[in-house]
Structure 1
Amino acid sequence: MGHQFELQKTVELAATPEEVWAAIATGPGIDSWFMGRSEVEPREGGRTRLSMLGQVAEATVTGWEPGKRFASRTEPGPDGTFLATEYLIEGRDQGSTVLRMVQSGVLGDNWETEYEAMRVGWDMYLGSLAAYVAHFPGRSATPVTAFRPGAGHPDQVWAAVTGAFGVTGPVTEGVPARLTVPGLPPIDGVVDLVGLPTYFGVRTDDAIYRFLHSGTERGNALVVGHHIFAADPDPARTEQAWQEWLDRLPVG
């Protein structure tokens, strides 16, 4: 039996309402901080499309007020489950913006696990949004996604990931992070987002790198969701290089 829910998050962003709108209500903007690849038909009644790891999720735009409100809703599934997402934009002094995100709907039988995953996952994505509008305004990224199911227990996985970046001791924001992925330019940046045991992030001058662990209840999967702002002549090769790195990551 389905379970109704509502989840609310608020974040203050170093960007104007117009910049925030471009980030949350256009395909290139969403690609620069959220999961997968997105398309948005810019009108009320239009369609949105999210593609990730061979799966496609579509929704209908239910609210379209540029600079103020953007909302969408999926069609109910056979079991009655659906998701509705609403963004409310409020401009503040000195060019900043407060963004309120409300997600609601009906979850399935395993609703508690799904709700917790969304609750924590939104913290990572909104943190990525904040990094995007603050450090890469006016630019758009190529999203990179890779997935390793059954990667291992969170402690093992994060020891491997942070160790690969040369991070030792407590994992805190602001510490240097360096990594070489075969076939790609070296990564040299700082840890900019920490929400262990669920997520870990690094920012460089031309990319936002994100790693997300699903938790033991959802299969101990490790997901890579990066946003590359540098010009990339071969995005498919970049994604393949990250998948190979993920598959070879020595866990445990």
Structure 2
Amino acid sequence: MSKEFEIAREFEVDATPEQVWDAVVDGSGGWLWPMEAPEPHVGGRGPFGSRVTAWDPPHRYGNRVADAEGVSGQTLNALDFTVEPREGGRRAWVRYVHSGIFTDDWDNQYDGAGRHTDFYLHTLRQYLTHFAPRPVAFSTFDGPEASRAADAFTAVGRALGLGDDTGAGAVVEVTGPEAAGPFEAVVDYRTPYFIGLRTDDALIRFFGRNRWGAPVGISVHDFAPGADAGADEAAWRGWLDEVYTRP
């Protein structure tokens, strides 16, 4: 049965309002995924067939779409960002609101959307603090069918070399794709459903979407000079496939 939802979050970040604005509207894939940049006026075309509902740089941006392109299980989707300066403009306060209508399995969709929102907005803060405005090579993909299993995400943490008690803030040696060899990373996010790793040149995100009936996923935001998104995907896809074929 269709039902409205709203997910609202507020946070401060060590970035100017202008830097936050650029990250939200440029569509580069630095923290979310590459997408069409919105036309810079109310009523203009936004990402995924949406229409811009608010345009006041660098303070307010919104878009809204019915029957969003590529968005299943929704008949309405709306996003709204409000950005205000703090500490003389050196920091920014951000309010984010995601609203709309879920058409089925409301509790599961709402739970998944809320938890993904927290991870995505954390990644936005990581991007603004450590990488913006460096160019990015972005890749994302899902694991094999076996990654839908109830315990599938536990295997990801162990394959990375993380202890079950390794939490956010830990500096670890990660067991990644064989060609890259072990590498040092900061665990910048860790819950039973998500793992975030930050290196000097990348944000690598692991999504335990098996919790909501989907495959485990990985996204790589690679800021290294000359980064190759295709090579990143091939390496990490091979690693993830191996996680679910090991004896």
Q: Give the TM-score category using the shorter length.
A: 0.7 to 0.9
Partner of 2:35: 38
1:121 CA drift (Å)? 0.4
Over 3 Å counting, the alpha-carbon distance change for 1:62 and 1:187 in structure 2 is: farther
Kept in 1, the 8 Å contact 2:186–2:197? The answer is: yes
SS at 1:117 equivalent: helix
SS at 2:166 equivalent: coil
Cα distance in 2, alignment partners of residues 137 and 116 from structure 1: 30
The answer as to 2:107 corresponding to 1:109 is no
The answer as to 2:163 corresponding to 1:168 is yes
Q: 1:138 aligns with which of 128, 133, 136?
A: 133
Partner of 1:53: none
1:98 CA drift (Å)? 1.0
Over 3 Å counting, the alpha-carbon distance change for 1:118 and 1:233 in structure 2 is: closer
TM-score of the two chains, using structure 1 as the length reference? 0.86
Over 3 Å counting, the alpha-carbon distance change for 1:242 and 1:47 in structure 2 is: farther
SS at 2:66 equivalent: coil
Cα distance in 1, alignment partners of residues 238 and 11 from structure 2: 35
The answer as to 2:200 corresponding to 1:202 is no
1:231 aligned partner, one-letter code:
P
* Range 13-22 or range 91-100, more displaced: 91-100
Over 3 Å counting, the alpha-carbon distance change for 1:122 and 1:177 in structure 2 is: farther
Cα distance in 2, alignment partners of residues 80 and 132 from structure 1: 29
1:152 CA drift (Å)? 4.4
1:64 aligned partner, one-letter code:
W
SS at 1:127 equivalent: helix
| CA deviation string 1:120-140 (max 9, x = no partner) | 001100110111111113223
* Greater than 6 Å deviation, 4+ residue runs: 77-80
Kept in 2, the 8 Å contact 1:154–1:213? The answer is: no
Partner of 1:62: 53
SS at 2:39 equivalent: coil
1:11-26 to structure 2, matched below 5 A, reads 11-26=11-26
SS at 2:177 equivalent: coil
The answer as to 2:66 corresponding to 1:71 is no
Kept in 1, the 8 Å contact 2:206–2:219? The answer is: yes
CA RMSD, aligned part only? Answer: 2.3
Cα distance in 2, alignment partners of residues 179 and 164 from structure 1: 7
Kept in 1, the 8 Å contact 2:158–2:164? The answer is: no
| CA deviation string 1:143-169 (max 9, x = no partner) | 1101014404454422x2222222224
2:36 aligned partner, one-letter code:
E
Unaligned runs of 5+ in 2: none
1:88 CA drift (Å)? 0.5
Over 3 Å counting, the alpha-carbon distance change for 1:169 and 1:79 in structure 2 is: closer
Over 3 Å counting, the alpha-carbon distance change for 1:15 and 1:79 in structure 2 is: closer
Partner of 2:189: 193
2:19 aligned partner, one-letter code:
E
The answer as to 2:216 corresponding to 1:225 is no
Partner of 1:52: none
Partner of 1:3: 3
TM-score of the two chains, using structure 2 as the length reference? 0.87
Kept in 2, the 8 Å contact 1:142–1:228? The answer is: yes
Cα distance in 1, alignment partners of residues 73 and 14 from structure 2: 41
| CA deviation string 1:162-195 (max 9, x = no partner) | 2222222402112214233134475321111112
Unaligned runs of 5+ in 1: 50-56
